[in-house]
Amino acid sequence: MSGIHSAYTDITNVISQTVACLAEAANAGVLHRDISAGNITIRDGQIRVIDWGCAKLLNTNLPGIKEVASEWGFDLDEIKENDKACNGIIGTPAFMSIRVLLGHPTRCLIDDIESLFYVVLQALSYYSHGSSLFAEPQVSKNTLAALAKVGLVANRESYLRILGIKKCPDNVKVQLDTLRQLLFCRDNQFIGGELIENQSETRIIYLNLMRRLMGNELFERVCRVPAGSSNA
């Protein structure tokens, strides 16, 4: 089994399968909350999201939650106990969403997908340099880390260049741009300031962008309409 750093030629598959996995889990009432490079593994071309110990159960009564727990190998009772001991900023700081770094208490699917965006950027940086320029922020500096991420993703044309990423296949860039649009834009306008200022989550999961990320087959299998989503 290998990780994302060894999957340069298959990053589009990593993105589509991971987004599908996270969406399916969210539909069943589970958020991962610690998406990182070490928690995405690959075996025989199949992507597996592991280490669900920091997960959040949104609703233990939703149908399908036991099947999701069995498929991805986590214990529902253990997650319930861990959640009691965790605070709102649980996760790996380098991959935390901007809103989580700023200490906002609510988490949703879009935070997990934002973490995937940073994982892919780190992997591409690793391929370009043999090591990652994607810094691990200190917990005491979370606000500065959040502001740095807003600056990083503000410009569609420069976020790869800022990280010194010179090698990025066209199909990977298309998916990264789609992720950026889903996570940081509304009506094609950048909303970084809104992410910093607003106390409540205002982002919408656009189903057309989710379909573009997953592909038609995975999208049709996985996506019921999540809360806060739009077909626009």
Q: How far apart are alpha carbons 52 and 56 in whole angstroms?
A: 9
Task: Dig out the tokens for 221 from the structure.
Answer: 């299998």
pTM of the entire structure? 0.83
State the first-to-last Cα distance of the chain, in angstroms, to the nearest integer.
38
pLDDT (0 to 100) of residue 135 = 59
Q: How far apart are alpha carbons 187 and 66 in whole angstroms?
A: 37
Residue 197 amino acid letter: E
Domain boundaries, the chain: 2-225
CATH-assigned architecture of domain 2-225: Orthogonal Bundle (1.10)
Residues of the chain short of pLDDT 50, as ranges, are 1, 139, 232
Q: How far apart are alpha carbons 166 and 76 in whole angstroms?
A: 42
pLDDT digits (tens, 9 = 90+) for 83-127: 766 655 688 888 999 999 998 878 899 999 999 999 999 888 877
Q: How far apart are alpha carbons 137 and 156 in whole angstroms?
A: 23
Closest Cα to residue 124, out of 176, 178, 155, 165? 165
pLDDT (0 to 100) of residue 1 = 39
Instruction: Provide Rg for the chain, Cα atoms.
Output: 17
Sign, Cα dihedral of 186, 190, 191, 192: positive
Q: How far apart are alpha carbons 141 and 164 in whole angstroms?
A: 23
Task: Dig out the tokens for 127 from the structure.
Answer: 């391929």
